[in-house]
Amino acid sequence: MNRALTARDSSTRASLRSAFENLGYEVIPFKKTEEQVLQNVPKDVRLTVTASPAKGQDATVDLSVKLAGHGYSVAPHLSAQQVRDRAHLADLVARCREAEIKDVFVVGGDPTDTPTEFKHAHDLLVALHELDHGFTDIGIGGHPEGHPSVSEDVLFQALKDKADLATHIKTQIVFDPKVILNWSRELKRRGIDLPVQVGVPGAVHRQKLLRVSGSLGIGASAGFLKKQQNLFWRFFVPGGYNPAKIIKGLAPHIGKPDNTLDGFHIFTFNDLHSTEAWRKKTLEGLS
């Protein structure tokens, strides 16, 4: 009995250590993001750069090119709501090729004032594949909690249509490991076999979260607050939010045949110092 427990504990620790060693960080293209990344993030941590409606698509690629030049593996977000047309897309792809950026993440994005010929992420994916894009890894978004006005079957079919044009899925923020695991199992059941990177909020200070939302120009909007009020509430629970709970709940399931879980993707909200300190401390405790 004790030997079985020890073996199980050893296996769990190994899966957790692997998960924390291979975390990816998402950053927002603010003025000081490049400096903050260089100060806090090791070169072996994968990065993605969001496409912020307030900053525009070109700011995302600008920062991605700079970070790639510093030796980081980086994936820019390409937003269907921010890429103006096929000529704009071709220019963005050419810049990524020149910088030897091999990864990209394609999203539908939030509506902006930018006129665009792409309505959805699928439209942008199709146009991307008509180019000699050079990307070896193309990510798409997953929504484990579904959508209140769209049926589950419609959502899974849309994801399946995009999956044929992608190589992995990154999920939106979900706080319940059981919801994510069940969703990943359903992906497998429906024949969507892309590896899933689970989106997890990092060790973010509450004040930083509010400052970032304000800097994006969305913190005070009624629409944003209505959409995200439940998300924000989760950060303000007594004792604060601990990202390790989600990872500990899911890491032992990575690689199991009944699901497609592959790793974790940290939404840092640019609180890079705290997030990296948390990752290092956790790894030390698992060594």
Which pLDDT value is given to residue 184? 96
Which pLDDT value is given to residue 240? 52
Which pLDDT value is given to residue 232? 53
Q: Which residues of the chain have pLDDT under 50?
A: 1-7, 215-229, 237-238
Q: What is the C-alpha separation between 178 and 181, in angstroms, rounded?
A: 5
The DSSP code sequence of 18-45 is HHHHT-EEEE---TTHHHHHHHH--TTS
Q: CA 268: distance to chain centroid?
A: 10
Three-state SS at 47 = strand
Which pLDDT value is given to residue 204? 74
Three-state SS at 264 = strand
Does residue 91 contact residue 61 with C-beta atoms inside 8 Å?
no
Distances 264 to 65, 113, 137, 172, 251 between C-alpha atoms, Å: 23, 32, 16, 11, 9
Q: CA 230: distance to chain centroid?
A: 19
Q: What is the C-alpha separation between 278 and 40, in angstroms, rounded?
A: 12
Query: Which residues make Cβ contacts (< 8 Å) with residue 143, sequence separation at least 6?
Result: 155, 171, 172
Which pLDDT value is given to residue 114? 79
* Count of residues making up the chain: 287
The HSE-up count of residue 175 (CA atoms within 13 Å, CB side) is 9
Token pair recorded at residue 116: 């665009």
Which pLDDT value is given to residue 222? 37
Q: What is the C-alpha separation between 205 and 270, in angstroms, rounded?
A: 10
Which pLDDT value is given to residue 241? 60
Q: What are phi and psi of 9, to 5 degrees?
A: -60, -40
Please count the other Cβ atoms lying within 10 Å of the Cβ belonging to residue 244. 16
Query: Which residues make Cβ contacts (< 8 Å) with residue 170, sequence separation at least 6?
Result: 48, 105, 139, 140, 141, 142, 196, 197, 199, 265
Which pLDDT value is given to residue 210? 60
Q: What is the C-alpha separation between 181 and 249, in angstroms, rounded?
A: 9
Token pair recorded at residue 16: 């957790």
> For the domain with range 22-286, which CATH number is right: 3.20.20.220, 3.40.50.2000, 3.40.50.300, 3.50.50.60?
3.20.20.220
Token pair recorded at residue 223: 């629409």
Q: Say which residue the tokens 């769990």 belong to.
A: 12
Token pair recorded at residue 252: 């032992």
Q: What is the C-alpha separation between 169 and 98, in angstroms, rounded?
A: 25
Token pair recorded at residue 170: 């990154």
Domain ranges within the chain, ordered by starting residue: 22-286
